[in-house]
Chain A
Amino acid sequence: MLAVRDLTICVGPAAKAVDIVSAVTFSIDKGEVLGLVGESGSGKSLTSLAIMGLLPTPGPRVRAGRIELDGSDVTALQPWQRVEAGAGRLAMIFQEPMTSLNPVLRIGDQIEEAVRVHDGTSGRLARERVRELLDMVRIPDAAVQLAAFPHQLSGGMRQRVMIAIALACRPQVLIADEPTTALDVTIQVQILGLLRELCDRLDMAMLFITHDLGVIAQLVDRVAVMYGGRVVEAADVGELFGAPSHHYTRALMDCMPAPSRQRRLRPIPGQAPRPGTITAGCVFAPRCVAARDVCREALPPQIRISERHEALCAFPLGSGRSP
Chain B
Amino acid sequence: MNGRGTALLLAPFTARPIAMIGLSVLLAMVVAALFAPLLAPYDPYALDPAIRLTPPNALHWFGTDQYGRDTLSRAIYSARMALLIGAGVVSFAMATGVPIGVLSALFPRLGHVLMRAVDVLMAFPSLLLALGLIVILGPSVANSIIAIGAAYLTTTSRIIYGLTLRLRAETYVEAARSMGARTPWLITRHILPNLVSPLLVQASFVFAFAQLGAASLDFLGLGASPDIPSWGNMLAESRTFITRAPWLLFFPGMMIVLTAFSLNLVGDALRDRLDPRFREMFGGEG
> Which residues of A come within 8 Å of B, CB atoms?
40-41, 45, 274
Contact = CB atoms under 8 A, between A and B. Distances in A.
B286 interface: yes
Interface string B272-286: 000000000001011
Contacts of A40: 285-286
A45 B285 CA distance: 11
Nearest to B286: A40
Contacts of A41: 285-286
Interface string B86-125: 0000000000000000000000000000000000000000
A184 to B, nearest CB: 22
Nearest to A38: B286
Interface residues of B, number: 3
| Interface secondary structure of A, over-half rule | loop
B96 to A, nearest CB: 38
A221 to B, nearest CB: 25
Contacts of B285: 40-41
A40 B283 CA distance: 12
Interface in B254-286: 283, 285-286
Contacts, number: 6
Nearest to B285: A40
| Interface secondary structure of B, over-half rule | loop
B279 to A, nearest CB: 14
A182 to B, nearest CB: 14
A41 B283 CA distance: 11
B282 to A, nearest CB: 13
A179 to B, nearest CB: 15
Contacts of B283: 274
A252 to B, nearest CB: 17
B55 to A, nearest CB: 51
B194 to A, nearest CB: 25
Nearest first, the 5 A-B pairs at minimum CB distance are A40-B286, A40-B285, A45-B286, A41-B285, A41-B286
Contacts of B286: 40-41, 45
A274 B283 CA distance: 9
Nearest to A42: B286
6 contacts: A40-B285, A40-B286, A41-B285, A41-B286, A45-B286, A274-B283
Nearest to B283: A274
A226 to B, nearest CB: 12
B280 to A, nearest CB: 13
B13 to A, nearest CB: 21
A41 B285 CA distance: 7
A190 B128 CA distance: 64
Nearest to B284: A275
A40 B286 CA distance: 5
Contacts of A45: 286
Contacts of A274: 283
A41 B284 CA distance: 10
A45 B283 CA distance: 16
A45 B284 CA distance: 13
Nearest to A44: B286
A274 B286 CA distance: 11
A211 to B, nearest CB: 10
A40 B284 CA distance: 10
A45 B286 CA distance: 8
A2 B283 CA distance: 32
A231 to B, nearest CB: 17
B212 to A, nearest CB: 37
A41 B286 CA distance: 6
A317 B157 CA distance: 64
Interface in B177-218: none
A170 B285 CA distance: 33
A205 B164 CA distance: 49
A181 to B, nearest CB: 11
Nearest to A274: B283
A43 to B, nearest CB: 9
B147 to A, nearest CB: 43
A274 B285 CA distance: 9
A156 to B, nearest CB: 23
Nearest to A178: B286
Interface string B109-146: 00000000000000000000000000000000000000
A27 to B, nearest CB: 24
